[in-house]
Amino acid sequence: MKSEYVQISRILKNYDLCEYCTGRLISKLVGKQPSKSLGKKYLKKFGKSNNTKCYVCKNIFENLDSMLSNIFEKSSNLDFKTFNLGLILKNSFLERDDLIKSKFKIKGIENLKFAISAEMSKKISRRTKSKRIINDPELLIQANFKDESSTIRTKPIFVYGRYNKKIRKLPQKQISCKSCNGIGCHNCNFRGLKNIESIESKISNLLTQKFEGNQVKINWIGGEDQSSLVLGNGRPFFAKILNPKKRNRILRKSSNLEGISLSELKKILIQPKGSISFKSKVSIIVDTEKPILLAHLKKLDILKNTKIHDLSKDKKSITKQIYQIRYKKLGKTSFRLDLFADGGIPIKLFIQTSDVTPNISQLLGNNCQCRKIDFKNIIV
């Protein structure tokens, strides 16, 4: 033990250290856990004052209150039970710490950054009644000691639901804000979207108000034209609420908004990655260039259980399947087409002459156009 005391004496003789850094740097030598009380004990034992400025940390441990106050102020209105803390320190702090450890061959102790983080986390936990975790915390704190600032970011909330669209001339998606290209800025109130009425805006407004989030990103399970209706059980979607302040709010399963109704709403842990396969029951009103006869429409029977190939827009061949098909002549140059098919078929291109093969116009030998497309049911 004598050699350890000599080593401690050399360290304290050459450098003025605070109680925190003393306890940390000598902990391995004395076989104790690093602590302020350990440092205080050995500073007193070797007759060193703790009133001088610490060579390593410049007494940063005694001046954490201003940073913590900033963090507490920013997080006071947030719902969270777990957090993680990241630090940005000037390189000179770490260099001085490494210099002493190298000079006195001190190994296996926590570094200065870890020690500051542990001390702050202990106080944050006590004040906010929360727990620090590394993986997937509800609150992420960044304390920047270079400019004495802090930033707070909360874990996103994920929501699953379905919507029914009851009115026509309502687009599904918003247009991204031209000023920020969807990132979020003052012009769009940090929503990233242009202020137009759409299904996306209605869902986004509901969820941002409910959870007091900054922005909502929606992952659509298929899409429809603005003139189409979505009936039956509705179209599924996943929503990601960014930087929510309130995460403990109760989300009702259904909600009626002007023009659309939401159902099956629920918070989920995380949204699925990648594309999600689905099938749709679709009713299409088709107009033809030349008069159409029922005998002509019977040619469409060939489409049952047929693979549809989409080569449009320089895509690699995308294959979808039609499972059921029905048709009904409505007038001299119009008919209704009911399909049960894989989601993702570009219906307008499937009806008119295009790179989607086979397509209705080619099968009938008659130029066809969609007048109306309504979704009767969507099955995931």
* Residue 158 main-chain phi, psi, to 5 deg: -110, 135
- Residue 148, CA atoms < 13 Å, CB-side half-sphere: 6
**Overall size of the chain counted in residues:** 380
For CA atoms 49, 50, 54, 58, the dihedral sign is: negative
* Residue 250 main-chain phi, psi, to 5 deg: -80, 130
Distance CA 167, CA 198 (A): 11
Which whole-number Å values give the CA distances from 263 to 252, 254, 257, 283, in the listed order?
9, 4, 11, 22
Cβ proximity of 184 and 190 under 8 Å: yes
* C-alpha of 195 from chain center: 22
310 assigned to active site: no
Distance CA 130, CA 122 (A): 10
Alpha helices in 112-213 (DSSP H): 112-128, 199-211
Q: Where are the strands (E) in the chain, listed by range?
A: 82-88, 131-132, 139-144, 149-154, 157-165, 215-220, 230-242, 255-257, 260-268, 279-288, 306-310, 318-331, 334-342, 356-357, 368-379
* DSSP tag of 148: T
Using DSSP's 3-state secondary structure scheme, residue 278 falls into coil
Indicate which residue of 16, 79, 136, 225 is catalytic. Answer: 225
Structure tokens at 3: 């050699």
* C-alpha of 330 from chain center: 47
Is omega for the bond preceding 358 within 30 degrees of 0, making it cis?
yes
Q: Which residues are catalytic?
A: 225
